Amino acid sequence: MNRLLLPDKVAIINGGATGMGRATALIFAEEGCNCVIADVKEEEGKKTAAEASKKGKECIFVKCDITDVKQIEACVDQTVKKFGTVHILIGSAGGSVPRDRVLNPPKEGVRPRMGVENTQEAYFDLMTDLNYKGHVFFCKEVVPYMKKQKYGKIVLISSMGVYNPPGPSVEYHGAKAAIIGLVYNLAYELGPSNINVNGILPGPIKSPFWDPVLSMVPDSERGKMLDQMGQFTPIGRIGLPEDIGYTVMFLCSELSSYITGQMLNVGGGIPLGRFDPERGFMRMVREGRPPR
């Protein structure tokens, strides 16, 4: 019988209804972990919880808007009432598109204006609350339980767009950059309490994250576009939610007990480009042509 990597642990996975969070929940359940799916997507969240529960451990859904501190407090309270404590916090909630645009995508032919000159305060505040502030307050609520038991694992999801932006988004990428600072600070502060804090910088991942971003692309073409995006990575493919889920699992298991305060790039080699001997400098060398 294989040894489980997260036996009888209790994890809160915010943003766990779909995508990377969902993959993490299913992997955690297979490794013996009880999970709480904290998300605004009720239908998808309940479905993920039910699927994870079939793998042997209990998984529940708690409706939670990470931009609302009161709902964060209620989520953690409900988790502790159900399972007695919290061992693991996964911060995967976030997004780059405001909710009104998710619910009401731009009309065909109308693209949202991008760039710092077009930044609006309300949008800036929403992106900060969704991608940074909410994670700070989730950490605030779970840390007392982790300190009491002298054990905890926190993994926060940032974005490779911080270092290698696919397009201008000072609001989203700025908030995701703040996650890096949060990881470093918490790792320093909480290390004496035996709490490991790490972060992940995902590259392009095939997940519902892209649905609102690519809302103007026909559904039949989105998969192809994402696959093409993956061709620019050194590995040459788009990432899958499970690529992130297994990395999260590693960082929450005792396999990584001596790792804290690290940001791990999981992006197929990005920001490196894909090597092609038929293009660029190597071709010029082979043909004996000096660079211009």
Cβ–Cβ under 8 Å, residues 186 and 155: no
- 184 among known catalytic residues: no
Cβ–Cβ under 8 Å, residues 176 and 94: yes
Cβ–Cβ under 8 Å, residues 183 and 261: yes
Nearby residues of 94 by Cβ (< 8 Å), 6 or more positions away: 15, 130, 131, 157, 175, 176
Sheet with 195-202: list strands edge to edge.
Answer: 59-63, 34-39, 10-14, 88-91, 152-157, 195-202, 263-266
Residue in 123, 145, 163, 172 annotated catalytic:
172
Structure tokens at 259: 């790792």
10 Å Cβ neighbour count for 78?
16
CA distances in angstroms from 189 to 9, 63, 181, 219, listed in the order given? 23, 30, 12, 45
CA torsion sign for 241, 191, 75, 67 is negative
Helices 69-83 and 134-149 cross at an angle (nearest 10°) of 30
Q: Which residues are catalytic?
A: 172
